[in-house]
A and B are shown apart, each in its own frame.
Chain A
Amino acid sequence: MEEYHRPCDEVGFNADEAHNIVKECIDGVLGGEDYNQNNINQWTASIVEQSLTHLVKLGKAYKYIVTCAVVQRSAYGFHTASSCFWDTTSDGTCTVRWESRTMNCIVNVFAVAIVL
């Protein structure tokens, strides 16, 4: 009986591609905009949804989780930590921090492999 042999792609999660994709999405949505209370919901939703669609277009067998936090720029303290229980050879994460004059944006991408 022939077993399905998974095509050999590069080892692990390609964080380079992921952070390029995320950077483009954030620039597209927030580039040149000022913090605006009315639009902020829409912006966070579109950043996350667009990043997700582009990541899926890569065509890899991965489950993705994208988290985005957008904060108005002022004097404040912000800590974030994450702890993960997964297969370190195939799964990975990438964090992109983006700043402009009026806001800070942190986007986190987690990719978990699907073993076909």
Chain B
Amino acid sequence: MEKRIRGGRMPSSQAPQQPPATPRKERRPSMFEKEAYAQILRERLRESVHDVQYVEPPFDDSVADIGKEWKSALAKLKFANSYRMEPLKKFQAHSVETKVQQILKESLKDVKYDDKVFSHLSLELADRILLAVKEFGYHRYKFIIKVLFIQKTGQAINIASRWIWDIAWDSWVAAKHEAETYVALALVFALYCE
């Protein structure tokens, strides 16, 4: 009988009392905890989109396997120690800068901004600059060339680079070429391979 009364009472007194809808201000959890991270990400990324453009080495399985075999074969090979602590010829930034500036000027003289032309011109220029830098003959150096073309339409652009390398032997060069409708920027990084 008591049960029935209790059962009868419950629906009548059912006034849904929801907790106050104020968001509780808690200490923001660390960014690197899995669940908290997803929540923070959702909050921040209301309007943004990201995309991974290009990744190398290619994630194709066959290619990765080739690398693995080669690499393990290399580990078994023991190279004789060359006892060389420093490069034969240190990277001279100023001579490379004049050369790169000259290449930019020659290739971009009287070239107007054009979408299709520039997309393969940028690759071509990057390859050409790479060849020219290799011709200098710096042994055991690895090079990274970056070429950027920005159309001048009144927008602002900010470009920054940072690196971790051996400051004794590694260096970089930047060359800029400005035209009426666009700006071309070439960056060359040279890293000594120990």
Contact = CB atoms under 8 A, between A and B. Distances in A.
Interface of A: 3, 6, 8, 11-13, 15, 19, 23-24, 26-28, 30-32, 35, 37, 40-41, 44-45, 47-49, 52, 55-56, 63-101, 106, 108, 110, 112, 114-116
Contact of B52 (A12, A86, A94): A94
B144 A100 contact: no
- How many chain B residues sit at the interface, stated as a range, is 35 or more
Contacts, number: 226
A71 B155 contact: yes
B101 interface: no
A66 B162 contact: yes
Contacts of B160: 44-45, 47-48, 67-69
Interface of B: 31, 41, 43-57, 59, 64, 67-68, 70-71, 75, 78, 113, 115, 118-119, 121-123, 125-127, 129-130, 133-134, 142-151, 153-166, 170, 182, 187, 189, 191, 193-194
A44 B57 contact: no
Contact of A79 (B47, B149, B155): B149
A91 B193 CA distance: 11
A69 B50 contact: no
Contacts of A8: 75
